[in-house]
Amino acid sequence: MKGVYSAPGDYIHFKSQVPLHKIPIGSKQWRYYDFGPKVVPPLICLPGTAGTADVYYKQIMSLSMKVGYRVISVDIPCVWNHQEWIQSFEKFLDAIDVHHIHLYGTSLGGLLAQLFAQHRPRRVKSLILSNTFLETSSFSAAMRWAPIVGWAPSFLLKRYILTGIHDGPQEPFIADSVDFVVSQIETLSRDDLASRLAFTVDNASVGPLLLSDSFITIMDTNDYSSIPQELKDQLGERYPAARRAYLKTGGDFPFLSRPDEVNLHLQLHLRRVGVEAKPDLVPKDGSGGSPGKENDEKKDHDDQPNGNGGNPESTSKESQSPPAPESSEYHGLCDQLLSSAKVISIGREDSTLMRDQHILATGVLLQLTWEFFIFSLLPIYVCSLYITQNNVWKFRKLV
């Protein structure tokens, strides 16, 4: 990031219109933006390791303020493993009185979205996964200092996260997206950074989902990403019938660098799974939503005992409605999408380059870690040598 960073004008306008909410859940504090009609089932956006709730402000400005969907963008709180995340996220949904949700997750957020859909299948109605993965074993193997990530200093954690972001000449929109994300990293505390990296090295993998592939959209960029290509391929193999949405360019943060294309894909997905926008109910005063009955009642037929003995799999299958029929308006959106984003094959050369960069970054960080410990212990070692030599000299003199 060159020079002094200044926030974009549309972000300043967003902050003036949409309030940031903070709610304590146990010992954790959740930060989130919530805008749009409360009667619309919400799309909840989960950021990656380097993201905050603010990185999805372009989606809120477009899908909520203009189209009429309800969008909730959340921060990942300071939790240290995936089970703790699932429990805390469920309590957060209960606290804001939301039951059925649609999840949009990028990078680490995509993994968390899949894990929540696996363990709480009744609550997740659809998934949009972008530049994400199924398991964390490759990341834990690459980070040799993973056992001490909870004690690592802030500068080392930030350096590790920043080395995962593509560097070098970039087009203006992608460079601006990187600058914005870097400015958000500076707002995170050491515990926030450490807990997010702990997620990536925690031993976790996504099991089979009860959610049908027809309710899943996979949206990836084809230029470069911090997620290795083989991990993206594993995701595609897990959900072979999922809808695929490719962006020709966009980098690691297409929701910032290519917001029009991303928002169009999100709108197509929501229409396909039967979510109807309510533009006439969009609030004009920045209150975040019109008063009214929540779209998702906590006490509905999904949560009542049934004749199958409470089997979650059969309950989920019975309650899962088929995708909405494709209307002429839907086809119009598809035509618009095809004219603005070309579907191309993913190049293998980019994945090889990203692997080499990841290996190089790991080696550099390992060297920095050793240097940190060496220089910390060197003064103690020199002092002990001086004391020992001094005592030996006094002993010889006494003898």
pLDDT given for residue 123 in this prediction: 94
pLDDT given for residue 198 in this prediction: 81
Cα–Cα nearest to 32, from 42, 21, 24, 23: 21
Please tell me the distance from the alpha carbon of residue 196 to that of residue 49, in angstroms, as a whole number.
6
E strand or H helix at 102? strand 101-106
What CATH number should be reported for the domain whose range is 9-281?
Answer: 3.40.50.1820
- Whether the CB-CB separation of 33 and 53 falls below 8 Å is answered with yes
pLDDT in tens, 329-360: 445 555 554 444 443 333 434 444 455 555 55
pLDDT in tens, 124-183: 999 999 999 888 877 767 677 666 677 778 888 888 787 777 676 678 888 888 889 998
Cα–Cα nearest to 117, from 196, 199, 192, 46: 46
pLDDT given for residue 168 in this prediction: 67
pTM reported for the whole predicted model? 0.72
Residue 315 has pLDDT above 80, yes or no: no
Please tell me the distance from the alpha carbon of residue 289 to that of residue 36, in angstroms, as a whole number.
5
Rounded to the nearest 10°, the torsion over CA 72, 77, 80, 84 is -60
